Amino acid sequence: MNLNNVNDIYSLSPIQQDILFHTLYSPKSGEYITQIVCTLRGNLNASAFERAWQRVVDRHEALRTAFVWEGVDEPLQIVRGKVRLPWEQKDWRENSAIQQEEMLQLFLKADRQKDLELTDAPLMRCTLIRTADDAYNIVWSFHQLLLDGWCVPLIMKEVALCYEAICRGEELDLELPRSFRDYIAWLEKRDLTKAESFWRHQLKGYSAPVQLPADVFPQSITREGDGHQRDLELSATATKALQTLACQQQLTLDTLLQSAWALLLSRYSGLDDVVFGVTVSGRPTELTGVESMIGRFINTLPVRVTISPETPLLTWLKNLQRAQLEARQYEYSPLNRVQQWSDLPADVPLFESILVFENHMVEDLTGQLTGGVSIADSYAVERTNYPLTVTIRPGVKLALRIVYDEKRFSAATIDRILVHLCNLLESFAENPGQPLSSVNMLSAAEREQQLIEWNRSRASFPGHLDYARLFEQQVARTPDNIAVVDEHEQLTYRELNRRANQLADLLGQCGVGPESLVGICLERSAGMVVALLAVLKAGGAYVPLDPQYPRERLSFMLEDSGLRIIVTQQHLVKSIPPNDAFVICIDSDRGAIASRSTINPEVSIEPETLAYVIYTSGSTGRPKGVQICQRALINFLHSMRTRPGIDENDVLLSVTTLSFDIAGLEIYLPLMVGARLVMASHATARDARLLATLIDDRQATLMQATPTTWRMLVDSGWQGQEKLKMLCGGEALSGELAERLLKRGRELWNLYGPTETTIWSSIYKVDQADATVPIGIPIANTNIYILDRTLQLMPLGSIGEVYIGGEGLARGYLNRVETTAETFIPDALSGESGARLYRTGDVGRYLSDGNIEYLGRADHQVKVRGFRIELGEIEAVLRRHEAIKDVVVVVREDARDDKRIVAYVVLKEESKTREDGELAAGLRKLLRQNLPEYMIPSAFVELAALPLTPNGKVQRSALVAPDQSQRSLNKEYVAPRTQTEETVTVIYGEIIGLERVGVHDNFFELGGHFLMAMQAISRLRATLEVEVTLRDLFANPTVSQLAEVIDQALINDPETEACVTSSPLQEDTAPSEITCRAG
C-alpha cells in the first residue's frame, strides 16, 4: 500500500462493506454510481465554478477517500491529503434542444459505464455542458461508497457559497467539518449482542424471501440487468387525505408507505409474512454535528410484516409503527450480520425490494442561487443491486418512483405495481377502519376485466334435457349412421339405441331410477357404451369400477357408494371384491337382456339428477366420489360441440379409461351429434404401435389424450394424421410436446379442468408452441378466477389459486358433507344468488390477453433451502435435453430435515448407452444455464418408465428413493484431485476456519459470507496469479466448480499458461458423477 499523500486510514462501515462487495461483484454494471444532473441558468463563470468544486473536495475527507481490500485482513478506506477533481467541459450550443437531450441521455449512460477506480481518489467527477449562452448542465457523478442522499444538498450549498466567494474575490471562512472517522469510531463501540438478539427474534422462522411478481423466473443477485425506472404521482387530493390520516392518527408517512408496500407484496405473492428492505438515515443523534457530516451513513435493513386479513387496518398500522420505533435503536446493525442472524441460508437474500423514503434529503436544489446563477432543474440518476427499488418523495403530490431490473420486469408490470400502490394508499385514507382483507388494491377497470370481460362465457344450451333424450333425438336424425365401433363389432345409432333400451328396461325392473347408482365394471368396448346409455336411460347414475384398480380401493368404493347393482362381464366378476350388489353380466346374461323392450324408456329426469359418480384420489388416502348432474354434463357437451367443435362427419377415437372423467367427452360428445365413436381396447390404448395403426385404419379425425399418451405416440415414431384434431389435457402440456404435435395433425387444443367441474373448464387453441402452453379461457357458462387466500382477485401476472364457478360444478362429494362445504364455497364475485365456487388446489395466473397459465398444484410448490420452487420449472428445462424422453421432479425428505430435489428421468433409447457421469454433468450444465443454483437437483434417478395411475397420470408416490450409496456428491467428502482443487480447499478452510474441505463443498454452505468471499478471491489471485472474480465464486461456489473456472482462465491466458496446475494429485481418485438407476 502506497502511504504517500495519506491523511488517515480506517475501516469501513457495514453499509460501505456491502456496497464494496456488490461493486466488486458487478464491476462494470454501473450499480452504486449516482449522477446528479442540474440545469443552470445565468452568466456562469466556469473557471470559478470548477475551483468552487475543488475547494469543497479539499474540505471534506470523505470526498478524498479511496478503498483497498487486497493484501489486508479487512477492507480499509484511505483518506488522501491532496486529490484533483476530474473536470470536463463540453459545448453543445450548436445542437438543437431535442438533440441535446438525446446527447445528454447517451452521455449519462456512457458516464455510468466508465469505471471509478476504487483505489484511486476521488471517486467522483464533474462534467459541465454548455447548452446555450446562459444555460449549462452540470453532471456530478460519484460512487455511493462516499456519500448518501442526505449529503447532496449539503455539498451543493457549499459549492454555491464557495462559488460566490470566488466570484467576489473573498476568502470563505467555513466551520471545519467533522470527520467521517468519528462515525466509524462510534460504530465500533456499538455492542452487537443486543442487536443480534433483536434481529434473531425479529426474523425467527422467516425462511424464504418474498417471491417478486417477475415477468420471468425470479433469480438471485447473480442475475444482471439494466435498471430502468417508472414514475407516478398520487393526486394532490389523495396526498392531502393521506397526510390528514397520518396527522389525526399520529402516524408517519413512512409508516403508511411501508404498510402499503407490505400489503402489496402480500397480495402479489400470496404470503401473509413478508420481508422487504428499507433505508434508514443511520445518523445517530448522540453524535454531535452528525446532521452536517459528509459520508455514507444511510443503511438498509429488513422490515418484517405479518398480515392477518381480519385485523383492522388502523390497528395494524399502529402496530407496525411501534415495531419501527423499536427497530430504530438498532439502525447501526450491519446488513450482512443481520443476514447471518436470520434463518435463511447464507446465499439467499433477505429481500429483493427496498423502500427509500426521501424525507431526509428532500431539500429541493431548484432555485438555489450560486453567484447570479440559479439551478433551474435537478434530478438524480442512480441504481442499486436490488431488482426493485421504490423511492418515495413527499410533496403536494406524493411522488413514487420504481427503479427496476428490465431483465426481470416489464414496464407494464412496474406501471401496474405503481397504480396498485397508489390504490392501496387511497384506500387507507378512505376507510382506516376496514379490515385488511377489504383494502382495495385493484382498480375498477381491472376488476371489471377479470370478473366480466375475461369471464364472458354466457351461452344458451338445452339444460332442461337429459343426455338420454338428446341421444334419442340424434338417433331419430341419423338412425343408420355407424355409432360405435370396437375390435369385434360395430353398431348403428338404431342398433345402439335398441340394445341400450333393452338393458335399461332390465335395470328399471331391478329398481334403477333417478338417483340410483349403478356400478360399471366393463372392458372398453361397444358393450360398455351400451351399458352407460342404459343406466342414463333408466334415470340412474353410473359409478365406474376399473378392473385395473387395487381390490382395496374397489372395496372402499363399493361400500362408500352403497351400490346395489353392478353391470359387468363374466370374466371380470372375480376382480370385483365381495359385495351384496345384484350383478348383471352383459355377456352371460345376453339372453335375458335381449328379451327386454326396445322402446325408449319413459323416465322423468330432472336437470339436477345425477348422471355419474367418479371417485378421485383424496388427501386422506380415501377416494372421494364426485357427483355430476345431468345439467352440468349437457352444458359441457354443448360447449365442446362448438369449441373445439365436432359434427356428424367426425370419427372420434376413444382411448381413456372410464374411471377418468374425460372419457365422458369421448363417449357422449360424438353420439350427441351423429359422429362415429371408435373404442380402442385397453391394450391398444397403451401400445403406441397399435394405437398409431388404429388411428390410420379408422381415419380418426378427433382424439383426446393426456400428454403422457401423446408423448408415447410421438416417441414411437408416429408421423401423425393430417386430418386429426388433437385434444390434450389431464396434465400440463409442455411447449416441447406441443411443438411436436403441431407438426402431426390439423389442430391442437389444450384443455384444463378438475373432475369436480365436469371434465374440462377451460380451453386453448395452440397455434404456436411457446415455452409454456396456456390453459386458455373458460368454456361456456363457466367462471374462472385467480384468487388469494382471502378470496381477493390477484393482479395480472401474479400467482394465485384457481377457483371455478358456473354450470359445471359438481353437486359435491358423495357422503362427504364437510369436505363438500370446505371445497365448494359461496361465490361472492358473480353476484348470483346461491352461486358456488370450487377451490381447485391448482395455481395459475392471468396472462395479459386474458388466457390463464397453469403452474401446477399448490402442494407441488415446495420450499428448499429457503426458496419457494415450482418443480414444473425444473421439469420444463430438463425436457429440453436431447437425451430426455420424460421426467418428473419431486422433493424428497428421506432423512429428517434433509429436503432434496430429485429428478426422475426416462432416457431416449439412443441415449441409454451414455456414461452416467457424462449424462449427469450434461443435465446439470443445462440446468445451470437456465435456473439458479438452488433449483439444481441433488440426484438424478433413471427409470425405464415413469409409474402411472390407471388414468395415465404420473404416480409420484411410487417413485423410488435414490440409492443411499449414490446420494448427492455434495453431501459426501471427496478429497482434492488436482493441484488447483488443493489450493482452493486450503484457502476455503483457512478463511472459514475449517480443518477439512471437500471438492463438492459449497463456500456459502460452509459458512462463508461476502467479506470472506472478498478475502478468498484476493488470496486466489495472489496464490495462483489468475484473474478470478467474485461473480465466479458466486456462480461456482463449490471447490470443484471454482477450480474448473480457474483452470480454464489459466489456459486462456497465455501469460500464465505455464502456471496451469490441473494435473491430478494421484491417479484414479476422481469419482465420476453417478446417475442412479432404478426400475
540-569 pLDDT, tens digit per residue, is 999 999 888 878 889 999 999 999 999 999
pLDDT of 916: 54
Give the pLDDT band (50/70/90) at residue 101: very high
For residue 804, the number of C-alpha atoms closer than 13 Å in the C-beta half-sphere is: 27
Q: Cell triple for residue 487?
A: 375390435
Give the pLDDT band (50/70/90) at residue 222: very low
Cα(339)–Cα(206) distance, integer angstroms: 11
pLDDT of 969: 29
What 3-state DSSP class applies to 919?
helix
Phi and psi angles of residue 536, each rounded to the nearest 5 degrees, phi first: -65, -40
Among 112, 148, 141, smallest CA distance to 26 is for 112
Residues 6+ apart with CB under 8 A from 701: 649, 650, 651, 652, 723, 724, 725, 746
Rounded to the nearest 5 degrees, what angle is found at the Cα of 95, between the Cα atoms of 92 and 99? 105
Cα(249)–Cα(312) distance, integer angstroms: 14
Question: Which uninterrupted H or E stretch holds 473?
Answer: helix 467-477
For residue 43, pLDDT over 70 is answered with: yes
Radius of gyration of the chain (CA): 35
Lowest mean pLDDT among 114-118, 334-338, 775-779, 917-921: 917-921
What 3-state DSSP class applies to 660?
coil
Average pLDDT over residues 828-835: 90
pLDDT of 1066: 41
Cα(691)–Cα(718) distance, integer angstroms: 9
Which residue bears the cell 434530478? 379
Give the pLDDT band (50/70/90) at residue 229: confident
Give the pLDDT band (50/70/90) at residue 865: low
Give the pLDDT band (50/70/90) at residue 217: very low
Cα(697)–Cα(720) distance, integer angstroms: 13
For residue 926, pLDDT over 70 is answered with: yes
- Residue 940 near residue 968, CB atoms below 8 Å: no
pLDDT of 357: 86
Which residue bears the cell 446493525? 333
For residue 970, pLDDT over 60 is answered with: no
Q: What is the DSSP letter of 642?
A: I
For residue 315, pLDDT over 90 is answered with: yes
For residue 1062, pLDDT over 50 is answered with: no
Domains of the chain in start order, with CATH, are: 6-183 (3.30.559.10), 462-615+677-682 (3.40.50.980), 865-966 (3.30.300.30), 978-1063 (1.10.1200.10)
Percent of the chain at pLDDT > 70 equals 89
Residues 6+ apart with CB under 8 A from 541: 515, 516, 517, 518, 535, 609, 610, 611, 612, 613, 627
The string of pLDDT tens digits covering residues 410-448 is 888 899 999 999 999 999 999 999 999 999 999 999 999
Cα(12)–Cα(66) distance, integer angstroms: 11
Whole-number Cα distances in Å, 306 to 210, 359, 973, 1029 = 12, 25, 41, 39
Q: What is the DSSP string of 941-958?
A: EEESS--B-TTS-B-GGG
For residue 307, pLDDT over 90 is answered with: yes
Rounded to the nearest 5 degrees, what angle is found at the Cα of 954, between the Cα atoms of 948 and 957? 90
Among 767, 771, 762, 774, smallest CA distance to 748 is for 767
For residue 619, pLDDT over 60 is answered with: no
Cα(547)–Cα(541) distance, integer angstroms: 19
Whole-number Cα distances in Å, 261 to 214, 218, 307, 417 = 16, 19, 12, 10
For residue 735, pLDDT over 90 is answered with: no
Question: Which uninterrupted H or E stretch holds 15?
Answer: helix 14-25
pLDDT of 868: 56
Cα(38)–Cα(53) distance, integer angstroms: 14
Average pLDDT over residues 295-323: 94
pLDDT of 310: 92
- Residue 198 near residue 330, CB atoms below 8 Å: yes
The string of pLDDT tens digits covering residues 643-665 is 999 999 999 999 999 999 999 99
Q: What residues form DSSP beta bridges with 884? A: 907
Prediction pTM value: 0.76
Question: Which uninterrupted H or E stretch holds 16?
Answer: helix 14-25
Percent of the chain at pLDDT > 90 equals 60
Lowest mean pLDDT among 170-179, 776-785, 799-808, 1064-1073: 1064-1073
Cα(709)–Cα(694) distance, integer angstroms: 14
**Helical H runs in 290-410?**
313-328, 335-341
Give the pLDDT band (50/70/90) at residue 407: confident
For residue 938, pLDDT over 80 is answered with: no
Lowest mean pLDDT among 80-84, 641-645, 877-881, 1002-1006: 1002-1006
Cα(545)–Cα(576) distance, integer angstroms: 8
Long-range contacts of 915-922 (CB under 8 A, 24+ apart): 915/1072, 916/1072, 916/1073, 916/1074, 916/1075, 916/1077, 917/1072, 917/1073, 917/1074, 917/1075, 919/883, 919/1075, 920/1073, 920/1074, 920/1075, 921/1073, 922/881, 922/883
What 3-state DSSP class applies to 273?
strand
Residues 6+ apart with CB under 8 A from 985: 976, 997, 998, 999, 1001, 1039
Average pLDDT over residues 480-495: 96
Lowest mean pLDDT among 158-172, 353-367, 549-563, 814-828: 353-367
Give the pLDDT band (50/70/90) at residue 1064: very low
Give the pLDDT band (50/70/90) at residue 180: very high
For residue 630, pLDDT over 60 is answered with: yes
The string of pLDDT tens digits covering residues 450-460 is 999 999 999 99
Give the pLDDT band (50/70/90) at residue 361: very low
Cα(256)–Cα(429) distance, integer angstroms: 10
pLDDT of 912: 64
- Average pLDDT of the chain is 87
Instruction: Name the strands in the sheet holding 762-765, side by side, starting at the edge strand that comes first in the sequence.
Output: 490-492, 482-485, 676-679, 651-654, 702-705, 725-728, 747-752, 762-765, 777-778
Residues 6+ apart with CB under 8 A from 578: none
